[in-house]
Amino acid sequence: MVKPSRIFILLAVCVLAALGALVPTAPAAARRGPAAPVAAPPRDATTPLPVKIASVSQDGQELVWRLILDHPFSPGGLAHDHRSLCLLLEQVRDAAVTGEVCVVGGVGRGAGARIEYLPVTRARTGTARVITASLARTSNANLTATFLPSAVGVSYASLRWQVQNAVLSPACLPAGAAACSSLYPAKPALTPMHTPRLVGCTAAGPAFVGYGPSTRREVALTFDDGPWYDTSQFLRILEREHVPATFFEIGEQVATYGEGGAIERRMLADGDMIGDHTWSHPDVAAGGSFAATQLTETAAAIRRATGGFEPCLFRAPYGDVSPALISEARSLGFTTIQWNVDPRDWALPGTSAIYSNVVANVHPGSIVIQHDGGGDRSETLAALPLEIGALRREGYRFVTVTDLLGLQLVYK
């Protein structure tokens, strides 16, 4: 005998089955449940993606393009949906477009986002090329791109810009499809720019360094005990040879021989680097407050002479260091720099001896110590162009210590 409750359940199942026969069967895709969310535009195929916020600003040496859309998007999705998202670079005087900086991305695996630059002139449009840029996203509706102005044909002068959204699908090809493109802002925006000024560097990595990486054929020339009578002659040779160098300066000599800061400003303008060599060249190996005062007073003298540059490199007088000194220097923001090539030019061994010592002992990553101050430096001056010529013939590239170690430079 079947229980009444069981009869009720069977009747209910039959009724539901009968009703199901009256309803059209859903497609297989629908029966599998909702698809995974995709960062795709919510509008039709001819409507541009609405821009919520956009800005272009200068950060040191770089341009920063920030973009927020009203809806999620992906660089790969832009390509898939035949859309473009570009920053139009425009002349200040007449708003004529000089270039397009576009977000692009492939749709295949590993095809990441990138930035392309397309030069534009009144006569013709150039060929797009990928530029070096860093990309960051904090949500799927925004993007920040950072790149050098020179990568997009821009100098450090005021810049007009607009963001252009465009739909490139066949539906937008007929005449009168102006709605397929939009500009933000409606009128070009103006971004003031200035030539960036080097104001420092950032100590990082090991606190004590005697040489750089041996993986690149690079060498760093360094000069101690300046500024001095002869420092401008060293700069003249380096400028003529287009060689950057690193100068470790004695603080009390900056006001006396720095020509009111002209020497230090000239160094930075040439691409040279300035380091701290204490205030009066004493032995500071013990570290502590005495060493700290020697370093901070010299850093202040360099800052005054240059109009704001903060050094991050320190070299101990005589090369006398200790864990205490290295730790003290790092706490003040310095990397302590030693050397691995020393021609002992201070002892006046002769031009030929200085030259031969340097050329024979340089290896990839070497840091060479010589002197531009503290005495007669005529032999070093005579040897310097010979060293440069010989090392160049051996395939070496000259860099500052900060470049050799990959330390970050700070610009304003």
Residues with a catalytic annotation lie at 224, 371
Task: Give ∠ CA 302-307-309 in degrees, rounded to 5.
Answer: 55
* CA separation for the pair 162, 97 (Å, rounded): 10
Q: 73 with 39: CB under 8 angstroms?
A: yes
* CA separation for the pair 167, 89 (Å, rounded): 19
* CA separation for the pair 82, 19 (Å, rounded): 44
Q: Tally Cβ neighbours within 10 Å of residue 360.
A: 10
Residue type at 393 in one-letter notation:
R
* CA separation for the pair 302, 272 (Å, rounded): 14
Determine which helix (DSSP H) or strand (DSSP E) holds 13, and give its type and residue range.
Answer: helix 4-22
Burial (CB count within 10 angstroms: exposed 0-12, middle 13-18, buried 19+), residue 54: middle
Q: 88 with 160: CB under 8 angstroms?
A: no
| Residues shown for the chain | 412
DSSP state, residue 170 = G
* CA separation for the pair 156, 176 (Å, rounded): 38
* CA separation for the pair 204, 211 (Å, rounded): 15
102: which strand partners? 86, 116
CA dihedral 270, 271, 276, 280 (to 10 degrees): -10
Q: 298 with 277: CB under 8 angstroms?
A: yes
Residues 6+ apart with CB under 8 A from 188: 90, 95, 160, 161, 162
Tell me the CA distances in angstroms from 5 to 2, 15, 18, 19, 344, one per residue in order.
8, 16, 20, 21, 106
